Amino acid sequence: MSSSSKATPPPAGIYVPVPTFFAKEGTSAYNSITPGLDLATQTEHSLFLVKAGIRGLVILGSTGEAIFIRDEERKELIASQRKALDEAGYKDRPIIAGTATQQIDDTLAMIEASKEAGAEFAMVLGPGYFAPATSQVGIQKWFEAVADKSVLPVMIYHYPGVTNNLYIAPSTFEKLAAHANIVGCKLSHGIVDDQTLIAASPNIDHAHFSVFTGLGQNLLPVLTIGGVAAIDGLAGVFPSVVVKLFDMYNTSVAKGISQSDLQEMRLLQFKICQGEKLVAKYGVIGIKEAIARVWGMGDQKGGRLPLAGGFEDANEWSKWEEIYTGLQKLEEKFRAESKSN
């Protein structure tokens, strides 16, 4: 792709890194090591999200247990959700497909398969196996090599927690943002100064390169420094709650933020932060537990090994129940308001 024909970033909004739902014990597709996909629940959850205003889905990111998914399952999963969204009237909701490979050719093959299945963007996890020995130049060249040949626009996925603490410097993001086929990043860390140095950088064309936080607990701060929104785990449980904060911010900016607007947004961000503590502590295990307990979708023990089994402590959910009951009431309130408007 030439520099004169830059790819376009995903539309601004709230995206969900969806969990991959697996067959429940007692069903024909179940086995205790690698239970099969549960596409019916996957679709139920996808439609639950987009009906609440979620702008798009990230399929097979970290929350989607991408490293445990076989190639043929990747195609089946993406294709089934693209078909479900299209048939339900949500053709405008893009699918971003994650990759979590170290080898460039494998990454490119995975991106090509994702496109064939219906994905519109690729979210590429940094190569962290040799993180302590990897230079910023090496990181830059790795992503550029992927982006040069990728059949989908590339988003850089920076998640030190699953990449051996690989660090991608803001200056490296500035260089990568100039690539015609690199259209944004997901920053799944809490380094606010680095987020600012990317999202507010005057050296980046922000019409071409969008900054998404991977942490809903950072949504309001990230919006104020130039980020476009979030790819957020809690939004997989309470989509309307997270979308509400995004909409409130953009509406208030358009008309002029009042003190009451600011107080309302701070309170909603506070409640989101309370819920995000479970996501931060347990990741996909906590997200699946919450979706199953709050909405009855899927199985809180529905991961693949070594994540199968859910919470080890049978009393763990009781520690979060009050917070999640409050968020559920907010979710139902915002959904009702949306339907009446």
Mean pLDDT computed over every residue of the chain: 95
Whether pLDDT at 192 is above 50: yes
pLDDT of residue 165: 97
Could you give phi then psi for residue 31, rounded to 5 degrees? -145, 160
Is the C-alpha dihedral spanning 298, 279, 51, 322 positive or negative?
positive
* Contact indicator for 204, 232 with CB cutoff of 8 Å: no
297-338 pLDDT, tens digit each: 998 787 899 998 889 998 999 999 999 999 999 999 999 998
Query: CB-based contacts of 134: which residues, under 8 Å, 6+ apart?
Result: 127, 128, 166
pLDDT of residue 309: 84
In whole angstroms, what is the distance from residue 210 CA to residue 186 CA? Answer: 9
Amino acid 293 reads R
277 is catalytic: no
Segment 227-241 mean pLDDT: 97
204-228 pLDDT, tens digit each: 999 999 999 999 999 999 999 999 9
DSSP of 304-336: PTTSTT--SSTTGGGGTHHHHHHHHHHHHHHHH
SS3 (DSSP) at 270: helix
Residue from 186, 281, 319, 329 carrying the catalytic annotation: 186
DSSP of 88-149: TT-TTS-EEEEE--SSHHHHHHHHHHHHHHT-SEEEEE---TTGGG--HHHHHHHHHHHHHH
Task: Give the rounded percent of residues in the chain with a pLDDT score beyond 90.
Answer: 90
pLDDT of residue 340: 78
Could you give phi then psi for residue 156, rounded to 5 degrees? -85, 125
pLDDT of residue 3: 45
Domains of the chain in start order, with CATH, are 14-340 (3.20.20.70)
Segment 110-121 mean pLDDT: 98
17-35 pLDDT, tens digit each: 999 999 998 899 998 889 9
124-138 pLDDT, tens digit each: 999 999 999 999 999
Structure tokens at 296: 């009855």
- Name the band, by pLDDT with cuts 50, 70 and 90, for residue 4: low
Could you give phi then psi for residue 157, rounded to 5 degrees? -105, 110
24-81 pLDDT, tens digit each: 988 999 988 899 999 999 999 999 999 999 999 999 999 999 999 999 999 999 999 9
Structure tokens at 4: 């004169």
pTM of the entire predicted model: 0.96
Whether pLDDT at 1 is above 60: no
pLDDT of residue 2: 44
